[in-house]
Structure 1
């Protein structure tokens, strides 16, 4: 889950997770992901629940082009293929690593606006918030009985937060973040979770919780399926300053930005002094990043974009990127502006999603109580 690590995906992790270095495991996941994509193409419309998907974002600020390229437009693609889709706005997860909720209401509304503007259809995609679905959060209690303190502390996100804490105590909510994420995925019996490579350990923790619940409490019956990863093909994008793209750093191009604001951000982007534009991710990472962004919006290889710019230098590169981003997002921004003028519709879409997710969560919790002998 959404910063954010690509993946957006599962709801955005509070801090960047450590690289997932088990190459054999990653290769197997990549191969299985390709199979899943092919199966979705062939069978999603026949049996949407077979490919039920959970993904989401933390409402810590506006969505940016990294979210759009890595996850948002892929969610729309899968929805349109017939995949039954759940999108969680992980408002409770905002306080895993923050002292206040910030502008939560405005941030949630902004996310819903971008979801709808991008093409997510509230009749086909369930958009909901953590805080509105108590039965989902109640699943954390039995799930916590299935993991150890040591397992949680080995989780990459938790390890990274500990390393960066500078002596600040680790909150219980952050320590149990992987279990909350498992509840997000399992409450709706999600079969597919779009993730980036560094989110694979999170998904494996969820798979372990599903297995353990089925074994310990359900006598081996499959109450919860083990979800599978649908890996993102979008590479990790850098911000305009050449470092990791991050809302908190202000080095992003927001989906809600105007064309002029976008042009200004790209003009200020870091490049280098070489006149000839070439795609060299190792030697010229800032230039390669801009070429990658242009290529993703233009649906062509970054090498082709570089060849077309040739000796146009940084100015020519930035002109191409600006045009690619603004032309590609023009429709999104127009739809977003129209939706913003009808806040009642935006609110109703979220309320309907909350109600639908609540019904699903209550059914799941009733099953959990039954198999645990707690239906009194």
Structure 2
């Protein structure tokens, strides 16, 4: 597919204050990210095996269409190219914006089911959990020593998470979130990270931590790579209320949702009062997001699709979206239902993935100890 498999990428400028490092109107550096697209595509086409990918999700609820078109389909694509892929289930990070981790085991297993249903192959990609890889988490301490409190506090993604936090007060863990993500990425020395545009600040801090560790402890060598971001062709889909699609905001369309639930959610999605349908992401964000969702599912150009819907209005648009989404998700739902019959298989996949990830993390931690002269 052309629309749903396009990858954009970046090697961002070294700066921790993204709000000042990037031009006005583009505080996350998305434009800079997209300029690297062609070069990385060529490199991936020539030699996909030279790259290692780290990606993942927090087990806080069901994965949704924003996740799928934002990063999940890129994971499958990279796997199929022959790139080594590590898929993290960040169970420790659930506590960054929640007082308790409710239904954690259920959410973890459901993530694995979603991964397998969309095509992640545990024989070629490593699926693992935070809590089962202690060597990864041990990297957090030296990494925190490389960044200031101010750098952590002004991270725009942390600010957004705090604004939507469910906690009565913000815990210290929230401010370690970017450094913890750096440990997630660097424990396996990943050099490519599929992300949505809102995650670019975290990745930039990871690059900063890698660079500072190499400068301070590398003795002329690079212990860690400075990873690049891979941006989806659709980095941001709006939720049914017109804001960012998010599990925590209750505005998402889950991959595991049934056809009737999907139809109900789409029918209730926010649009506007103008009857003529057009694709104008700036002027008509809610309508345009629905058009884009249908276009991604149909592998169509969104402007042409909007022109075809034309005067059918919001009702016609939503009918098109419902049909496109349900048809696209049908095989994924069928495979997921089949896989859900054997929960033991899910646990075996996690156990094997955890063992592989721990072996990699131990090797990296040993290198870090050597570089820091802390092997006793």
- TM-score of the aligned structures, taking structure 2 as reference length: 0.89
* Aligned counterpart, 2:39: 35
Task: Give the distance between the partners of 1:173 and 1:42, measured in 2 at CA.
Answer: 41
2:269 matched to 1:265?
Answer: no
Does the Cα contact within 8 Å between 1:20 and 1:201 map onto a contact in 2?
no
- 1:51-99 per-residue CA deviation (whole Å, 9 max, x = no partner) reads 1010111110000111111111111011101110011111111101110
1:157 to partner: Cα distance? 2.5
- 1:144-173 per-residue CA deviation (whole Å, 9 max, x = no partner) reads 221122221222233345566799543221
2:330 matched to 1:330?
Answer: yes
SS of 2:36's partner is helix
* Aligned counterpart, 1:284: 284
Q: For the aligned residues, what is the CA RMSD? A: 2.4
Q: Which runs of 4+ in 1 moved over 6 A?
A: 18-21, 164-167
> Which consecutive residues of structure 2, in runs of 5 or more, have no partner in the other structure?
1-6, 10-17
1:353 to partner: Cα distance? 0.7
* Aligned counterpart, 2:239: 239
Task: Give the distance between the partners of 1:244 and 1:148, measured in 2 at CA.
Answer: 29
Aligned residue pairs: how many?
358
Task: Give the distance between the partners of 1:20 and 1:291, measured in 2 at CA.
Answer: 33
> Structure 1 residues 164 and 344 mapped into 2: Cα distance closer, same or farther (>3 Å)?
closer
Task: Give the distance between the partners of 1:278 and 1:33, measured in 2 at CA.
Answer: 28
Does the Cα contact within 8 Å between 1:19 and 1:198 map onto a contact in 2?
no
SS of 2:35's partner is helix
Mapping for residues 242-253 of structure 1, pairs under 5 Å: 242-253=242-253
Task: Give the distance between the partners of 2:20 and 2:125, measured in 1 at CA.
Answer: 30
SS of 1:85's partner is strand
2:301 matched to 1:301?
Answer: yes
SS of 1:53's partner is strand
* Aligned counterpart, 1:156: 156
SS of 1:205's partner is helix
2:115 matched to 1:115?
Answer: yes
Does the Cα contact within 8 Å between 2:157 and 2:198 map onto a contact in 1?
no
Task: Give the distance between the partners of 1:123 and 1:32, measured in 2 at CA.
Answer: 30
SS of 2:54's partner is strand
> Structure 1 residues 20 and 291 mapped into 2: Cα distance closer, same or farther (>3 Å)?
farther
SS of 1:248's partner is coil
1:19 to partner: Cα distance? 7.4
1:26 to partner: Cα distance? 4.5
> Structure 1 residues 358 and 223 mapped into 2: Cα distance closer, same or farther (>3 Å)?
same
1:284 to partner: Cα distance? 2.8
Mapping for residues 147-186 of structure 1, pairs under 5 Å: 147-161=147-161, 169-186=169-186
